[in-house]
């Protein structure tokens, strides 16, 4: 049916790998991602995975070795890639931040003037400092940036942070955010028509999975006299489903609720007289 498979570049081993594989599996795309594999062909979708270092992904997609890819926005930005971001994927969330040793007495960005800052993101850091008129010595290193001040290599660092625990263990304090980042799906702009069709099917599935992740399915029993207020708490996609229970005076309500703050809503539902509340994960959701 298809001339050739769509090739997607994904991180081989690292912070994005597990979530990327999980995302594709949730799209019901089956493949073998056994250790040390460089490529893998899906057995039920015209897709081929190329397992690469994350830094190489933008270039591979730009050069047409891969057709699309999943990579951190930070990597795209540092590579000055103009690949199109099709979907933000909601995992691999982090920020590129400037951090200083705890004793630094940092007040504002001018305190960095003339200081040496170690980073693997010279372009983004350089631009950030330039826009603020600060001249500092940007020192590019490829890894273990967080130990640079401790070993006397730099006065400050600029590195990716998620929880901040690595900074904390290295006696560093975050003082400026250079950029916020998450994993994104990118695509080459000149896909052939057949490849574009496959990419659209893939994107349809990825969007359905991303959307599902942000929501939960909720069902509960409610006394009929409280139905109004309970319905307002869980308006759902269009409106909740309300069905009578066999027991007189009670109904069953089914709806969809945003995952990020569902606990306060569940508490309110309980306080409104709801019983037998079930909160269930959704695999795929198409609005
Ligand atoms: P590779 O071997 O593929 O070059 P890497 O060591 O450069 O891997 P990882 O540390 O695996 O990269 O991070 C991959 C991506 O995960 C980052 O580019 C970033 O988008 C995201 N990420 C999320 N949280 C963090 C974090 N706390 N530190 C570093 N990266 C993070
Ligand atoms: Zn990397």
Q: Is the CB of 162 under 6 A from ligand 1?
A: yes
Span 138-160, average pLDDT: 96
| In a shared domain, residues 65 and 200 | yes
For ligand 1, is residue 53 a contact (CB within 6 Å)?
Answer: yes
State yes or no: pLDDT of 159 exceeds 80.
Answer: yes
Q: How far is the CA of 14 from the centre of ligand 1 (A)?
A: 6
Hey, which of 18, 58, 71, 72 would you mutate to test ligand 1's pocket, going by the most ligand atoms within 8 Å of its Cβ?
A: 72
237: pLDDT strictly greater than 90: no
Is residue 40 in a domain?
yes
Cα–Cα distance, 136 to 142 (Å, whole number): 19
Q: What is the pLDDT of residue 208?
A: 96
pLDDT score recorded for residue 3: 65
- Ligand 1: atom nearest CA of 143 is 6
pLDDT digits (tens, 9 = 90+) for 3-29: 689 999 999 999 999 999 999 999 999
**pLDDT the model gives residue 19:** 95
- Tell me the average pLDDT across 132-145: 96
Please compute the mean of the pLDDT values over residues 125-131 and round it to a whole number.
98
Instruction: Give the HSE-up count for residue 281: Cα atoms under 13 Å, Cβ half-sphere.
Output: 5
pLDDT at 36: 78
Mean pLDDT across the chain: 95
| CB-ligand 1 contact for 132 (6 Å cutoff) | no
Query: Which residues are paired to 140 by β-bridges?
Result: 119
State the average pLDDT over residues 195-214: 95
Does the pLDDT value for residue 206 go beyond 90?
yes
Please check whether residues 12 and 133 belong to one and the same domain.
no
Q: Global pTM?
A: 0.90
Q: Compute the chain's Rg from CA coordinates.
A: 24
Number of domains in the chain: 3
* Structural domain contains residue 141: yes
Co-location of 10 and 51 in the same domain: yes
127 and 12 housed in the same domain: no
Query: Does residue 16's CB lie within 6 angstroms of at least one atom of ligand 1?
Result: yes
Q: Helix 193-213 crosses helix 17-26 at what angle (to 10 degrees)? A: 100
Does residue 112 sit in the same domain as residue 165?
yes
d(CA 89, CA 109): 32
For residue 20, the surrounding DSSP H or E stretch is helix 17-26
Give the residue numbers spanning the domain of 58: 6-89+182-212
Output the pLDDT for position 228.
92
pLDDT of residue 235 exceeding 90, the answer is: no
What is the average per-residue pLDDT within 241-261? 94
Name every residue whose Cβ is closer than 8 Å to that of residue 14 and which is 6 or more positions away in sequence.
54
Q: Which atom of ligand 1 is nearest to the CA of 181?
A: 20
- Statement to judge: residues 36 and 164 lie in one domain: no
So what's the pLDDT on residue 178? 98
Contact (CB, 8 A) for 141 and 98: no
Residues in the chain: 287
Q: Is 14 in the pocket of ligand 1 (CB under 6 A)?
A: yes
Mutate to test the pocket of ligand 1, among 9, 14, 174 (most ligand atoms within 8 A of CB): 14
| 68 & 120 share domain | no
Separation CA 133–CA 216 (nearest Å): 47
Contact 251, 279 (CB under 8 A): no
Question: Is it the case that residue 1 has pLDDT exceeding 70?
Answer: no
**Angstrom distance (rounded) from CA 48 to CA 67:** 10
**Cβ-contact 240, 254 below 8 angstroms:** yes
Q: Over range 233-261, report the average pLDDT.
A: 92
Give the pLDDT score at 37: 84
Out of 181, 200, 230, a domain closes at: 181
CATH of the domain at 53: 3.40.190.10
Average pLDDT over residues 28-51: 91
| Domain closes at, from 160, 195, 212 | 212
128 or 261: whose pLDDT is higher? 128
Q: How many CB atoms lie within 10 A of CB 78?
A: 20
Q: Could you tell me if the CB of 61 is within 6 A of ligand 1? A: no
Q: Is 11 in the pocket of ligand 1 (CB under 6 A)?
A: yes
State which of 54, 74, 186 you would mutate to test the pocket of ligand 1, scoring each by most atoms of that ligand within 8 A of its C-beta: 54
The CATH number of the domain holding residue 234 is: 3.30.70.120
Over residues 52-97, the pLDDT tens digits come to: 999 999 999 999 999 999 999 999 999 999 899 999 999 999 999 9
Whether the CB-CB separation of 148 and 118 falls below 8 Å is answered with yes
More confident residue, 261 or 179: 179
Query: How high is the pLDDT of residue 33?
Result: 79
Same domain, 18 and 124: no
- The reported pLDDT for the residue numbered 249 is 95
16 and 55 fall within a common domain: yes
Weakest-pLDDT range from 14-18, 36-40, 102-106, 118-122: 36-40
Half-sphere exposure of 69 (CA within 13 A, CB side): 32
Q: What whole-number percentage of the chain has pLDDT above 70?
A: 99
Assess if residue 1 is contained within a domain. Answer: no
Distance 96 CA to ligand 2 centre (A): 14
> Would you say residue 286 lies in a domain?
no
Same domain, 105 and 64: no
How many Cβ atoms sit within 10 Å of the Cβ of residue 186?
Answer: 24
């Amino acid at each position: 049916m298809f001339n050739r498979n769509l090739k997607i570049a994904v991180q081989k081993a690292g912070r994005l790998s597990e979530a990327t594989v999980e995302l594709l599996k949730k799209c019901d795309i089956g493949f073998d991602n056994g250790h040390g594999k460089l490529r893998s062909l899906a057995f039920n979708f015209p897709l081929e995975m190329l397992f690469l270092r994350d830094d190489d992904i933008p270039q591979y997609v730009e050069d047409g070795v891969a057709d699309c890819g999943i990579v951190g926005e930070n990597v795209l930005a540092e590579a000055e890639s103009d690949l199109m971001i099709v979907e933000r994927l909601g995992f691999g969330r982090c920020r590129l931040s400037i951090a200083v040793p705890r004793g630094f007495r940092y007040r504002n960005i001018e305190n960095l003037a003339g200081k040496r800052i170690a980073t693997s993101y010279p372009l983004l850091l350089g631009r950030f400092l330039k826009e603020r008129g600060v001249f500092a010595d940007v020192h590019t290193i490829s890894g273990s940036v967080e130990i640079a001040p401790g070993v006397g290599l730099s006065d400050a660092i600029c590195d990716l942070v998620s929880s901040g625990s690595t900074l904390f263990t290295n006696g560093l304090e975050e003082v400026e955010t250079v950029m916020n980042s998450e994993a994104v799906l990118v695509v080459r702009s000149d896909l052939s028509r057949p490849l574009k069709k496959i990419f659209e099917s893939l994107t349809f599935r990825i969007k359905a999975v991303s959307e599902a992740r942000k929501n939960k399915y909720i069902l509960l029993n409610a006394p009929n006299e409280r139905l109004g207020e309970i319905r307002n708490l869980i308006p759902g996609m269009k409106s909740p489903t309300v069905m009578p229970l066999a027991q007189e005076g009670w109904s069953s309500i089914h709806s969809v609720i945003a995952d990020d703050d569902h606990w306060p809503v569940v508490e309110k539902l309980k306080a409104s007289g709801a019983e037998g509340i079930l909160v269930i994960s959704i695999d795929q959701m198409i609005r």
